[in-house]
Amino acid sequence: MGVIVNLLAIVAGSLVGTFIGHKFKKDLNELIMNCVGLFIIILGIKSTIGAGNDIRVLVFLIIGSIIGNIINIDKNITKFSKYLERKFVKDRESTFGKGLVISTILYCVGAMAIIGSIKSGLSKDNNILYIKSILDGVSAIIFSSIYGIGVMFSAFAVFIYQGIFYIFASELKGILTETAVKEIDYLGGIMILGIGVNILFKKEIKIANMLPAIFIPMIFPLICSLFSKIFNF
């Protein structure tokens, strides 16, 4: 239920923002985006403070980014967003793709998405996901007023992403250790910080290509366990 509520909150917020967004003046839009960019940067910094093993997280980030670059996630997301744009958006000058990419990464990568889904899977406690739904719904109003309807489609990516963590927590409880969650939180904070930099300073850091790094802390304990059994460590 927590995952479903999160999806509906983003859809509702996106629709509200899309329909009233034209009433916002350009200067106001820029001011709002600067506020959002600053806030996202602070969220990213908070997620990385006291997170633990810096070197290991850096290695995870580099390995994940290499994998993401080989797959070229950023390009594939852009291609998919352009397909959706051709299907659903008549205005070819829209920022549909950017809205989809930015909002998908922001809503998917973060402590609340991960920990909330895990708690829901482990104990059916949806409180964190309900709080995240409120935050996502409000931010969807802002993002969709600037980027348009593309923000709404991020809701389905959020549903799948958080659903995966819910299933992992339900079926593979022993794999998602406290250390793994902290490292995922740390990596998420770095990526959120990158999104804030992109928004505030108009940069083009390909955050999407870093996403595979999020999953490395999950499989790292399995790899260590496998090597331990093979070599009798």
Separation of alpha carbons 140 and 117, rounded Å: 20
pLDDT band at 148 (very low <50, low <70, confident <90, very high): confident
Q: Where are the beta strands (DSSP E) in 1-124?
A: none
Is the CB of residue 10 less than 8 Å from the CB of residue 138?
no
Residue 47, amino acid: S
Q: Where are the domains of the chain?
A: 2-231
Separation of alpha carbons 72 and 124, rounded Å: 35
**pLDDT tens digits, one per residue of 121-145:** 877 778 778 878 887 888 888 888 8
- Residue 90 pLDDT: 56
The set of residues, in sequence order, having a beta carbon less than 8 Å from that of 15 and lying 6+ positions away, is 144, 152
- Residue 69 pLDDT: 93
**pLDDT tens digits, one per residue of 81-98:** 677 666 655 555 557 777
